[in-house]
A = this chain, B = another copy of it.
Amino acid sequence: MLQLTKRTEYALIALTVLAGREGEVVSVREIGELYPVPRRLLAEVLKELSRAGILASQRGSNGGYFLTRPAAEINVAQVVGALEGLPAIAGCSSEDFEPGACEVEPVCPIRSPIQRLRIGVWAVFERMSLRDLAEPARPPLSRAVPVGSGASDGSSSGSGSEA
């Protein structure tokens, strides 16, 4: 399934708040009051982000979390990477992939292309920073791009989806 986990979504929501209040210390409760998110789970997620070094925490009363770096320097890729491990696309490019786990590997014809996809997807996530998240979205949306080899003429490729 090519979809982020709820944990990651909650993380991004929380980070949106954090990014809009840089320098402040924000508690899980506050965020929970802003958005109808399972607080307990949100807390768990923020702990993870803290362990990953994206957030730092302040314990005790008046405690909470805050960004360790400017919002513009933290991108979605880092967040996703911290919570789900970097996007693998295929099993063999996952972090915890043990050699031999895939029978096809020695002769797999799609490893290289998959790798290219992975890099492309990763780049998409890298290009969106927390500041982009927090801001009301300014979409110059300068035409997508990359990854393919030749593919130059892909113009005709409709979305097609299914059915």
Contact = CB atoms under 8 A, between A and B. Distances in A.
B121 A148 contact: no
A43 interface: no
Nearest to A124: B120
A98 interface: no
A144 B123 CA distance: 6
Interface of A: 1-6, 9, 12-13, 16-17, 35-37, 51-54, 72-73, 75-78, 80-82, 84-91, 94-95, 103-104, 107-110, 112-114, 116-117, 119-129, 131-135, 137-157, 159-163
A35 B20 CA distance: 51
B127 A148 contact: yes
Nearest to A109: B16
B4 A157 contact: no
A128 B148 contact: yes
B123 A151 contact: no
Contacts of A91: 3, 6, 9
Nearest to A9: B90
Nearest to A81: B161
A52 B162 contact: yes
A121 B2 contact: yes
A84 to B, nearest CB: 6
Contact of A144 (B36, B145, B152): B145
A61 to B, nearest CB: 27
Nearest to A142: B146
Contacts of A139: 116, 149
